[in-house]
Structure 1
Amino acid sequence: MYARDIGIDLGTANVLIHVKGKGIVLNEPSVVAIDNHTGRVLAVGEEARRMVGRTPGNIVAIRPLKDGVIADFDVTEAMLKHFINKLNVKGFLSKPRMLVCCPTNITAVEKKAIKEAAEKSGGKNVMLEEEPKVAAIGAGMDIFQPSGNMVVDIGGGTTDVAVLSMGDIVTASSIKMAGDKFDNEIIQYIKREYKLLIGERTGEDIKVKVATVFPGSRNEEIDIRGRDMVSGLPRTITVKSTEIEEALRESIYTIVQTSKSVLERTPPELSADIIDRGVILTGGGALLHGLDMLLAEELKVPVLIAENPMECVAIGTGIMLENLDKLPRRKFS
Structure 2
Amino acid sequence: MTISAGLEQLRRCHVAVDLGATRTRVYVKGTGLVVDQPSAAAVNTRTGALIAVGELAEQMTGRTPGYIRVVRPVSGGTVVDIEVGRRMLRALLGEKVRRALRRKPRLRAAVCVPHDADPLAMRAATETLLGLGARRVELVDTLIAAAVGCGLPVERAEATMILACGAASTQIAVLSLGAVVTADRVPVGGDAIDHAIVQHLRQRHELVLASQSVRPLHLALSGDGPAAGAAVAEIQGTDVTTGLPRLVRVDTAAVREAVRMPLTSVLDGIGRVLRDCPPDLVADLADQGVMLVGGSALLPGLDRTLHNATGMPVRIAERPDVCAVLGLGALLEGKVRPMVLDPLAG
Q: Normalization by structure 1: what TM-score?
A: 0.90
% of aligned pairs identical? 32
1:223 alignment partner, SS class: strand
Instruction: Report the Cα offset of residue 85 of structure 1.
Output: 3.6
> Of residues 141, 152, 174 in structure 2, which corresponds to 1:130?
141
What runs of 5+ residues in structure 2 fail to find an aligned partner? 1-11, 340-346
CA offsets 1:85-106 (integer angstroms, 9 cap, x no match): 4533413363531111121112
> Do the aligned partners of 1:183 and 1:200 also contact (CA within 8 Å) in 2?
no
What runs of 5+ residues in structure 1 fail to find an aligned partner? 329-333
> Of residues 100, 111, 119 in structure 2, which corresponds to 1:100?
111
Match of 1:27 in 2: 36
2:261 alignment partner, SS class: helix
Match of 2:78 in 1: 69
Q: How does 1:156-305 map to 2 (within 5 A)?
A: 156-207=167-218, 209-211=219-221, 218-305=229-316
Match of 1:81 in 2: 90
Query: 1:9 corresponds to which letter in structure 2?
Result: D
> Do the aligned partners of 1:152 and 1:279 also contact (CA within 8 Å) in 2?
yes
Match of 1:313 in 2: 324
Query: Residues 184 and 22 from structure 1, CA distance in 2 versus in 1: closer, same or farther, beyond 3 angstroms?
Result: same
Match of 1:10 in 2: 19
> Do the aligned partners of 1:164 and 1:170 also contact (CA within 8 Å) in 2?
yes
> Do the aligned partners of 2:34 and 2:93 also contact (CA within 8 Å) in 1?
no
- Larger Rg over CA atoms: 2
Query: 1:27 corresponds to which letter in structure 2?
Result: D
CA offsets 1:198-239 (integer angstroms, 9 cap, x no match): 2221123323x22359xxx94344322222221122222222
Q: Distance in 2 between matches of 1:128 and 1:311?
A: 18
2:60 alignment partner, SS class: coil
Query: 2:124 corresponds to which letter in structure 1?
Result: A
Q: Distance in 2 between matches of 1:80 and 1:319?
A: 21
Match of 1:331 in 2: none
Alignment RMSD (CA, Å): 2.3
> Do the aligned partners of 1:84 and 1:121 also contact (CA within 8 Å) in 2?
no
Match of 1:59 in 2: 68
2:212 alignment partner, SS class: helix
Instruction: Report the Cα offset of residue 281 of structure 1.
Output: 0.8
Q: Distance in 2 between matches of 1:98 and 1:261?
A: 34
CA offsets 1:282-327 (integer angstroms, 9 cap, x no match): 1122212332222112112111111111111111011111229966
> Of residues 39, 50, 53 in structure 2, which corresponds to 1:44?
53
> Do the aligned partners of 1:212 and 1:245 also contact (CA within 8 Å) in 2?
no
Instruction: Report the Cα offset of residue 124 of structure 1.
Output: 2.0
> Do the aligned partners of 2:330 and 2:336 also contact (CA within 8 Å) in 1?
no
Q: Distance in 2 between matches of 1:77 and 1:70?
A: 10
| Greater Cα offset, 78-87 or 54-63 | 78-87
